[in-house]
Structure 1
């Protein structure tokens, strides 16, 4: 069968499998909600859609926050078009299905290009793409979007090694640019390394025909063009990092979050027993959490599939080549790295490798582990060479069928009041273990029943078993919910109806509930948990509803977020002074999910004119003065500057309100009428990249009151415009534009070279 026809058939088959796997999410009224999906992804993507598909600044986060500078927002990732055309809720479903299909298909293609048999490539692609690691990525969208381009990088590297390296290198450049836009550079870096490993440790009959020099030239060219084409992303990110909470990297405690613990290792072999969250009754919904008997890891499932493990064991039989040993050692190294809290390997790298402190979450090294395991499984398939042993195979097959029939006809009645939580958890573990044992027996029985004489039927049978094993383990891993879940509670709906006509979004400070109410527990109803997060406006929920909230920010945010948190947490501050500090920051309402929105008296308007400025060079001192109850915030502004920009006045009149005419993401227009020379204070975040114009003339923006923007204005009436279009972004666009034309030029040359060779 020619490769092109084979790939077309594989494309149709994999598309069918992916649609079967995601069948519960296909109805029009369904969407997803677990973990970051409802807490961050859908709210942030809905903001991006409301912004017309382009946003550099997010005014709903904190006092305003760079949007596109945070790479995990994927502001320039082209496949965000799914959100744009279908809306954030439904677009997410299509986004995940598309990426899942693209990965399983290109992984199969990559394995075929690597010289593996059709059947082994099929089993490897099924095992990796429906295993716990990859299925967990459907809740970690940035990781998913970065990782799925990795098989295509392998394909282009092999093509470069076989012939001319220019065209594949240019293709790799596009893929690396997509990885940069996808937002997970740690995963991107691992994928480049893993691509080289996959090429350098190919089977001898393929490896001998490849030029290592051309492979490295193609990868180098790809990294170069990937950096050039994505310059407008990483330049604004590099500008953001020194001003963020990641300026000095991650501390060891933060870096070691989401390590694999020893007791979780059993989940590599025995999957969590996951119930369909949306189908459970009120009396049984909390039992959903009991199925996670290894607690909740960064990747919600660690199960690799018993058929994959079985085939990997076959790779260890007979004469073991050094390639097999390489993948075994790589799997062991990756597992040791992922156990950062328990084993010293990750800590050694953290303290001795430069810039390694920018890498967080040891669990991400499981990418290496599961790929190495897949490679062992593919090699294992090629080592099945024995003749059929039908009596033994048939006997083992019967045991597997018997176990499956037992599981089908002995259903667990969760409504039985005599069953306690511990007993139910034990039964879940037992049923999961029996299911794995059943598929193990079925797989082993097929291998011995058919042997190597009937490889097509053996591969078809193992493929079906591999898919069914992983389907039953993971089909409810990312549960579905009806779209009306994304409606706000009555407080939010009423508030939005009242404030719909305002020029700028109202600013609130939402109060967080106790942490135990907002995290997974042993007994957890996920729908109830995420309903609490929604109703409490946790994470980015306020952004989804178009409300500006001080607590709406991600783990990658401005350093001022922690500075404000410390300021408000000072023991010396009374509750009244804390409320005063919030009012001085333009906060209009306090929100708590059980009481709704409470008006904050004496809240400052978003823009006001002050006639006295106090120059303070130390920001800590500014925070102390700003939070002092005696600070005359309606008469004076604190300016952080080295040079003398204004003198203190013995007496200053009360401030005047300035009228906000227009308030967009990257542009704020204000009408200000000053009685004398003074300062226009805008209670939005100070950040480089903002430019101010008074009556069309550009003026300097000063950091005011520690967090905000201020400009000097003369007496009289003025039109003041704040624009956000940072120079770093402009430079990036210029570099990327030139790079794109260079890419097109070289692609044309490579195309002509290809035609000439033909």
Structure 2
């Protein structure tokens, strides 16, 4: 029995060893202590700094942060250690490896698991694992720092494996695998990838139903489906700490589309949807023709920032225009050019390339595979491409955006290419399984192989060699490049010549990558042909295919995550070094004020939030009232609005060297103040436009809906010495003292958020009203008082309890299920 057990497990341990070795070798700089210079993760550091510091100092969970957008919940960034016990599973399945080795390993392991469930031959499993993990999109995600997204993509095959296993009759083990895989996927909390996973699951379940109906197996289908439904519920419950509060928070954000403004056509269009504005959501829509990057990486010019060497057409053109070769060579070494000419107007970090060999095998699967599972995989493939095309297939995607549940909460449709990236690999491996399983005659296989080679190779030849005839190599960035070249090379005529040279470089890249893809297709086709004609044994042919797939993908991946992407940790820390402006501002002893850094892109950069409480920041889910304030007031430099946000300092570039310098704003309103007058607004539009000319220190504009809260006929008063002073600053609570001989209206320089903020005067709860469109206001009785603003989101605390209890139950049930499976397997083998 021991020998049988070892014999069964050793191949899997070998596969794990291969994955560990491959991931570690690819990311070998981590062995020297280096880390990936992830641009988006630097933003994350800025986003979470204040919250993390608060937790470390107090041990209290930070629920609110003032380091971004003048204040917002920390639910989507950081609120302390997770109570979800699946955090330990997440660490276990990645072997606690360093980033990004852990993500590559997890992706390979999960695809290998799915291939085992599908009963593919050993080396086909390994090939599929390597192909899935090293898809260029995955590597690009790791490079820029989209960590949670990559984790969820890696886990998708494991979720499918659990569902397929359950429908095959392994009810307990399959349901347990589904529950834990789905639970960890939801724990990682990339909602858009979770949504795409749900689409896949629905396609699989629908196909399984049709198959069961045809095979008269509906009782077994419904039994499995009930168990899977239970597994799904068990998987979702541990994530309630995130899901419940995110659902509540979404209603107040751009993704919930709750803006009340209709000041211009754009705001009117928002009313069509309960989610994002469609033009914003459909940024980064892949082009239908651009989808050929699956087959040829350079089809659309790769990325928006690439170096060109001395052999490029741009280099030759510059030299021919009289520029010194040495100077041009130095320029080419420093400059990155926009070779990308695809449909995504804002550019891209790189193409979605699944591999020429995988595309060839995918075509072969269409000719060979007859399993019912082929159809749900094809359905997912088609759905993925349609969704990814976004505005470039508007007649379908516009309808889906406004009618498909929750779909309007997401943006960047190109992300949907994760679906065909997965299905291409599965079907490609299935094609190899059909070649190797002996169910087809060799003549039939050779015929299908020839057809697949002609189709795939023919496409490459037509695209690569005929590209200059069929395609326009001009890109969205060419106008800016024309201006750049005109300034650099002395005139528009020279600039036009350089832009044409850039287009020639794009054409050359397409030809080069087409030839490259054709070579790899020929290698794969040749290996399969050699096996079918008995010139190679299966093991040898399979190893050739695995090696070819790995080399093909890794060569491309190195352009996006190579050794240059890794830096010493000290280099990252240097990006967090405060400037002289930051140091100057931090000398201010005032515990609570805000800054606006206009030396950078203030609403797309969270780095200033690392050092300060910030009017700007970075978040894909800003509060709607604040986005309205940015659009209609802050972006127009309305100083009265900036004053009411207590913007005490501006960081601006100096006129000489462009270095950031600090400028103090003496007119900032402070943390809180009494006003003399209220302007009642009949609607949100009037409230916003009133801010155009309102003296926010003296008066407040309030929507009439709050008039009954303050009391009909209420007129605020203040004496000459009236004041509100901040006495204690915290993220979850702020304490003030007030002094005023008259009943007044206190305006607090805090963002209005009714889902959790409560006000207390001398310990007694009172109402908060929305003031100046985005701030909090409290009616304060005459005299001296203690005022406390507390953030007490009941939804958050309820979710925490559900998560802690349900995740513990889930782990116990999963462990029990797997023990049961082991015992059942040993019984079947007669060993107990």
Work out which of the residue numbers 230, 237, 242 in structure 2 matches 1:221: 230
Counterpart selection for 1:115 from 97, 105, 119: 119
Whole-angstrom distance in 1 between the partners of 2:689 and 2:101: 51
Q: Which region of structure 1 is more displaced relative to structure 2, 124-133 or 350-359?
A: 350-359
Task: Tell me, yes or no, if the aligned pair for 1:635 and 1:654 is still in contact at 8 Å.
Answer: no
Please name the residue that 2:615 is paired with: 550
Note if 1:258 corresponds to 2:265.
no
8 Å Cα contact 1:660/1:669 also seen in 2? yes
The runs of 5 or more residues in structure 1 that have no matched partner are 85-91, 401-416, 513-534
- For residues 102 and 244 of structure 2, the distance between their equivalents in structure 1, rounded to whole angstroms, comes to 29
Distance of aligned partners of 1:470 and 1:632 in 2 relative to their CA distance in 1, 3 Å threshold:
closer
The answer to whether the aligner puts 1:739 opposite 2:806 as a matched pair is: yes
How large is the Cα RMSD of the aligned pairs?
4.4
Aligned counterpart in structure 2 of residue 284 of structure 1, from 332, 352, 376 = 332
Q: Structure 1's 261 and 74: CA in aligned 2 closer, same or farther, altered over 3 A?
A: farther
Which residue of the partner structure matches residue 310 of structure 1? 360
Preserved CA contact (<8 Å) 1:136 1:299 = yes
Question: Contact 1:662–1:669 (CA<8 Å) still a contact in 2?
Answer: yes
Q: 261-270 vs 290-299, which deviates more?
A: 290-299
Task: Provide the C-alpha distance between the structure 1 equivalents of 2:715 and 2:539, rounded to a whole number of angstroms.
Answer: 90
Find the counterpart in structure 2 of residue 445 from structure 1: 526
Decide which of 531, 542, 546 is 1:463's aligned counterpart. 546
| C-alpha distance in structure 1 between counterparts of 2:821 and 2:206, whole Å | 25
Unaligned regions of 5+ residues in structure 2, if any? 1-5, 257-273, 310-328, 437-441, 458-488, 490-496, 828-832
| Structure 1 SS opposite 2:647 | coil
CA change 1:557–1:636 in 2 (3 A) is: closer
Number of matched pairs = 696
- CA gap of 1:552–1:229, structure 2 versus 1, over 3 A, is same
Indicate how the Cα distance of structure 1 residues 650 and 747 shifts in structure 2: closer, same or farther if over 3 A, else same: closer
- Per-residue displacement from partner, 1:284-311 (whole Å, max 9, x unpaired)? 3565444545476667321111121232
> 2:192 corresponds to which residue?
186
Corresponding residue number in structure 1 for 2:429? 378
Which shifted more, 229-238 or 334-343? 334-343
Is 1:347 aligned to 2:403, yes or no?
Answer: no
Which structure 2 residues correspond to residues 687-702 of structure 1 after superposition, within 5 A? 687-688=753-754, 689-702=756-769
Compared CA separation, residues 25 and 634, structure 1 to 2 (3 A):
farther
Matched, 1:150 2:156: yes
Q: Scaled by the length of structure 2, what TM-score is found?
A: 0.73
**Shift of the alpha carbon at 1:552?**
1.4
Partner Cα distance (2:677, 2:688) in 1: 18
1:755 & 1:481 partners in 2: Cα distance?
45
Matched, 1:12 2:17: yes
* Contact 1:610–1:654 under 8 Å retained in 2: no
Alignment of 1:56 with 2:96, yes or no, is: no
CA distance in 1, matches of 2:125, 2:811: 34
What are the superposed Cα offsets for residues 98-149 of structure 1, whole Å, 9 maximum, x if unpaired? 1221121121012111211112111111111101232233233332232222
Flag the 1:550–1:112 CA change in 2: closer, same or farther, 3 A.
Answer: same
Label 1:169 to 1:501 Cα distance change in 2 as closer, same or farther (>3 A): farther
| CA pair 676-96 structure 1, distance change in 2 beyond 3 A | farther
Task: Report the equivalent of 1:41.
Answer: 44
Equivalent position SS for 2:251: helix
Choose the corresponding residue for 1:582, options 632, 642, 645: 642
Spell out the pairing of 1:361-376 with structure 2 (5 A cutoff). Answer: 361-376=412-427
Alignment TM-score, normalising by the size of structure 1: 0.79
Question: Cα deviations across residues 426-445 of structure 1 (Å, max 9, x unaligned)?
Answer: 44444433433333333333
SS in 2 for 1:191: helix
- Verify: 1:560 aligned to 2:615, yes or no: no
Which whole-Å CA distance do the structure 2 matches of 1:548 and 1:80 have between them? 30
Pairing of 1:91-240 with structure 2 (within 5 A): 94-138=98-142, 139=144, 140-161=146-167, 165=171, 168-169=174-175, 172-195=178-201, 211-240=220-249
* Structure 2: distance between partners of 1:47 and 1:477: 32
- Residues of 1 paired with 2:716 and 2:304: CA distance? 70
Distance in 1 between residues matched to 2:716 and 2:806, nearest whole Å:
57
